[in-house]
Structure 1
Amino acid sequence: MRYAPSVESLRTHEAPAWFHDAKFGIFIHWTMASIPAFAPQAGSLIDIVGENPLDFQRLNPYAEWYWNTMKIEGSETALHHAAMYGDAPYEAFREPFEASVEAWDPAPLLDLVAASGARYVVLVTKHHDGFALWPTGVQNPKYPGWHTRRDLVGEIAQGARERGLRFGVYYSGGLDWTFEPRPTLGIADLFDTVPRSGEYRSYVDAHYRELMGRYRPDVLWNDIAYPPGPGMLELFADFYNGNPDGVVNDRWTQPGTKEFPLPLHHDFRTPEYTQYPDIVARKWEATRGIGHSYGYVANEDPANIISPGALVQSFVDAVSKNGNLLLNIGPKGDGSVDPRHEAPVRALGRWLAINGEAIYGTRPWERAALEAVDATDTIHQVRFTRGDGRVFATVFDTPAAGPLRFPGAGMPPFVRARLLGGRAVACQELGGEVVVEFPAVEESPAHCLELEL
């Protein structure tokens, strides 16, 4: 069908099957801020915002916000910048970044993405600093030539597709510090710094259309907001008409419009560093970094890095509730990845190699969760998915060998059970419970039981 630039027409578009099936994507935040690679280590952004909603930016743990945070007098980032770089402007990081980019080999990064088990990749093409990672033909009227000489977007798009991955583009439509250099301090003034001029709106529209025409993305992942005025619905319609299987996220709010803060249209929601407590009918995608930042942080507290076990369990929880996971990798300035960040990514890939049947191509079951009790009376969280006449019960952590008891009322009627990566397991109904004879197995963050209906 052809989509018209109207809310009624666009809302007939839904997240396509591939996006439901994929479950897992890799986000890549690689900006000039990876050269200073610094951020305060005061906790997670959610906690910091909760404690300091009006001036949380001075403690912002997101390294990619360096240019904003360094402008806040007395902030840790401002003090760090003065000590390390004196009065050098943020723009001074451009040439070191460009020099690193010239020598970069994309294969190791893309091989890591493929090894993770991800089915799609979303690349930051322009973050809030306005620096484009492709040699755009759209001139920045405030900072002429504000883009990489090398086509990082094109090379990553090509490499991703060569590895069988879908490709998407992140673009900061809501903030661009080359158009609006005032620093934002907190929640109250965040949307006040969204550029609202017709010049900026035309610039953003031209960038998006260039990205769509040149790189054919499957995902348009906008951030913060979209400049107010006409043209957004036309952009969506043209995107869908060129790629009916494309998807757009939910961060397209237009400040100053009567719909604000809700977007006029989206295919999926994007909770950040949090997840929904139960099944959500509309598709969603949890997004988070491996630590407390998306951009690379050289001074990162190791305690902030998610463990392989916590990553697997968080991912399974999202999938059971109709969500995907978009997990961020933040390369260093030279494009390499911190080994501490590689470890959980590769661990998730190894887990998926065994248990992918319970993830890829599945849909939520009637309920997302319940608890099971093992032979030592230890309680284990369980998450459910379904597909192809089967229900998968993914048991968190490693139960003790012996009877694993599920509440009978919460289980599907099944005829046999099998442990993915293992063998069939005996099961019976006993005293209102379903009892599975769980075998002795190696330790794992989660074990998947296939229940044949």
Structure 2
Amino acid sequence: MTAHTGAQGVPAQWAALEQRQVPAWFHDAKLGIFVHWGLYSVPAWAPRVDHINAIIAKRGAHGLYRANPYSEWYLNSYRVPGSPSAKHHRDTYGDLNYYEFAKEFNTEAAQADLAGFARNMRAAGAEYVVLTSKHHDGFTLWPSEVAHPQGRALHAQRDLVGELGEAVRTEGMRMGLYYSGGYDWSVHDVVLRRLADALLAMPPQPAYERYATAHVRELIERYRPSVLWNDIGWPGGGDLSALFTAYYEAVPDGVVNDRWSESPTRRGPLNTLATRVGGRLIELLWPLVPRSLKKVGFPLPRHSDFATPEYQTFDEVRDDKWEQTRGIGHSFAHNRNEHAEDMIEIEDLIHGFVDVVSKNGNVLLGVGPAADGTIPEPQQRVLDGLGAWLRVNGEAIKSTRPWHVAEGRTDRGTALRLTQSRGAVNAIMLDRAPVAGQHVLEQFTTSTLPRKVEVLGCGEVPYRLVDGRLAVDLPERLPDSPAHTVRVTGSCP
């Protein structure tokens, strides 16, 4: 599979990027952990609301910014007049400036057991970890030598990027780095309240493009991340193809995501007015917009290795590689206002994970540590459940590829998701307690019996052909599990 790249007639560096293949390790990995950790981990607060795409569908951008479920957006949220976050901040912290959280964050993060954190992610079944090296607030988790455009000192005292990267690699995982190129409120301090602000909040200053490019080059040279994960967009006016080329030269099997669309290099008064008028018009017509369009989305960049739909799924196998991003709860960062019931159920997570993998995707699962690096118990419970399931069923997930169809059913109506690897096809039954006895796998049409059929974690089971379809006998008692894998080895259809 080739990486996503733009149209014909591009310069030589872009044309060379078009020839890149997504590396096998990223296809094999399936599960990454998305670590949101920063100053926002100190207040760790957002309103208890629905997930982001549900809010966008009901209330549009204005409703989202007023009641944003993402606690990592705390700096923006508490400055939206009348918002729940504004009330919380006033009641809890008075007029405290957000960046004064740095003192407490540095104190707490100094105690973080990063080796233990990495072991925890490995136990959950992760193959890679992506850390927010700099989120929209502009605070970096590494001691950058790049001067801030306004001379501000906004970085962690501890090199959290370097130390966590070392711990992650020690556990046999790959380390990736998130960077917010599209927003930096420490440089361009815009409070997002309306739809148009999503565009106007992107820093237009040429100095910011140089700053962001120098930051990312520093991250590449110092830490060699296997994943370069940008957010929102990228400031225009520079040479993004040269940045990508430098990255791939430093990390030949690295991958970049799809949120690198370059912003306009000029923004005059008329352009700003047109953006605001257009945004307001869309808000007025929002009830008429098709629901399929009411979701988090980003303009396509000129080049990427994989797409990153947020809390989204697909009906069919995708030709191009993709990665679903989602939190365990409705926030990526820790939200102390969320309750256990706001976390995704383990069964729902596993069923969704299996669905994504069957359609050529990975899952980048958001984990929000507290300021001291510990994982709150409601999140930890979900990670433990995911890890326990993968220890039994990992063969049906890791290093697999999509089969010729992703979805199927048995003759008893049990939903299946299908993957293949090493001469076997995996039929994953999305049922905690499928009925004992014969199940005909409707999609397995063949005239030749396979060599072996087994239920992972249980052992081999009897099988036969029924009207040209494979039938398997499930035992009376299966292990308690959110989903069960029937692995068919040998002559697969």
TM-score by length of 1: 0.95
For residue 92 of structure 1, report the CA deviation from its aligned partner.
Answer: 1.6
Task: Call closer, same or farther: CA 1:346–1:54 in 2, change over 3 Å.
Answer: closer
For residue 409 of structure 1, report the CA deviation from its aligned partner.
Answer: 6.1
CA contact (8 A) 1:20 1:361 kept: yes
Q: Quote the Cα distance in structure 1 between the aligned partners of 2:93 and 2:35.
A: 26
**Structure 2 residue corresponding to 1:434, chosen from 470, 482, 486:** 470
Q: Quote the Cα distance in structure 1 between the aligned partners of 2:448 and 2:265.
A: 51
1:52 is paired with a residue of what secondary structure?
A: helix
For residue 143 of structure 1, report the CA deviation from its aligned partner.
Answer: 5.1
Q: Quote the Cα distance in structure 2 between the aligned partners of 1:104 and 1:412.
A: 58
Aligned residue in 1 for 2:486: 449
Aligned residue in 1 for 2:96: 88
For residue 90 of structure 1, report the CA deviation from its aligned partner.
Answer: 0.7
Q: Encode CA deviations 1:109-165: one digit per residue, 9 max, x unaligned.
A: 111101011111111100000000011101112252110111000000000010001
Q: Quote the Cα distance in structure 2 between the aligned partners of 1:126 and 1:115.
A: 26
1:150 alignment partner AA = R
Identity over aligned pairs, percent: 42
Q: Quote the Cα distance in structure 1 between the aligned partners of 2:56 and 2:447.
A: 42
CA contact (8 A) 2:445 2:468 kept: no
Aligned residue in 2 for 1:28: 35
Aligned residue in 1 for 2:414: 380
**Structure 1 residue corresponding to 2:400, chosen from 355, 362, 373:** 362
**Structure 2 residue corresponding to 1:187, chosen from 167, 180, 195:** 195
1:140 is paired with a residue of what secondary structure?
A: coil
Aligned residue in 1 for 2:382: 344
Greater Cα shift, 402-411 or 331-340? 402-411
CA contact (8 A) 2:321 2:360 kept: yes
Aligned residue in 1 for 2:423: 389
CA contact (8 A) 2:22 2:255 kept: yes
**Structure 2 residue corresponding to 1:178, chosen from 154, 176, 186:** 186
Q: Quote the Cα distance in structure 1 between the aligned partners of 2:43 and 2:106.
A: 14
CA contact (8 A) 1:220 1:248 kept: yes
Aligned residue in 2 for 1:160: 168
Residues 131-150 of structure 1: matches in 2 within 5 Å? Answer: 131-142=139-150, 144-150=152-158
CA contact (8 A) 1:255 1:261 kept: no
Q: Quote the Cα distance in structure 1 between the aligned partners of 2:241 and 2:139.
A: 25
2:190 alignment partner AA = R
For residue 333 of structure 1, report the CA deviation from its aligned partner.
Answer: 1.5
For residue 408 of structure 1, report the CA deviation from its aligned partner.
Answer: 5.1
Q: Quote the Cα distance in structure 1 between the aligned partners of 2:29 and 2:430.
A: 22
TM-score by length of 2: 0.87
1:285 is paired with a residue of what secondary structure?
A: strand
Structure 2 unmatched ranges of 5 or more? 1-10, 267-297
**Structure 2 residue corresponding to 1:119, chosen from 116, 124, 127:** 127
For residue 406 of structure 1, report the CA deviation from its aligned partner.
Answer: 2.3
Task: Call closer, same or farther: CA 1:410–1:78 in 2, change over 3 Å.
Answer: farther
CA contact (8 A) 2:445 2:470 kept: no
Q: Quote the Cα distance in structure 2 between the aligned partners of 1:63 and 1:74.
A: 17
Q: Quote the Cα distance in structure 1 between the aligned partners of 2:106 and 2:151.
A: 16
1:29 alignment partner AA = H
Aligned residue in 2 for 1:39: 46
Greater Cα shift, 58-67 or 391-400? 391-400
1:366 is paired with a residue of what secondary structure?
A: strand
Q: Quote the Cα distance in structure 2 between the aligned partners of 1:442 and 1:86.
A: 53
**Structure 2 residue corresponding to 1:425, chosen from 456, 461, 464:** 461
2:245 is paired with a residue of what secondary structure?
A: helix
Task: Call closer, same or farther: CA 1:20–1:41 in 2, change over 3 Å.
Answer: same
Residues 225-236 of structure 1: matches in 2 within 5 Å? Answer: 225-236=233-244
Q: CA RMSD in A?
A: 1.8
For residue 196 of structure 1, report the CA deviation from its aligned partner.
Answer: 1.8
Number of positions where the alignment pairs a residue of Structure 1 with one of Structure 2: 445
1:406 alignment partner AA = L
2:179 is paired with a residue of what secondary structure?
A: strand
1:442 alignment partner AA = P
Task: Call closer, same or farther: CA 1:265–1:408 in 2, change over 3 Å.
Answer: closer
Greater Cα shift, 419-428 or 310-319? 419-428
Aligned residue in 1 for 2:232: 224
> Does residue 298 of the first structure (1) align with residue 336 of the second (2)?
yes
Q: Quote the Cα distance in structure 2 between the aligned partners of 1:165 and 1:413.
A: 40
Structure 1 unmatched ranges of 5 or more? none
For residue 6 of structure 1, report the CA deviation from its aligned partner.
Answer: 2.2
> Does residue 274 of the first structure (1) align with residue 282 of the second (2)?
no
Q: Quote the Cα distance in structure 2 between the aligned partners of 1:118 and 1:414.
A: 35
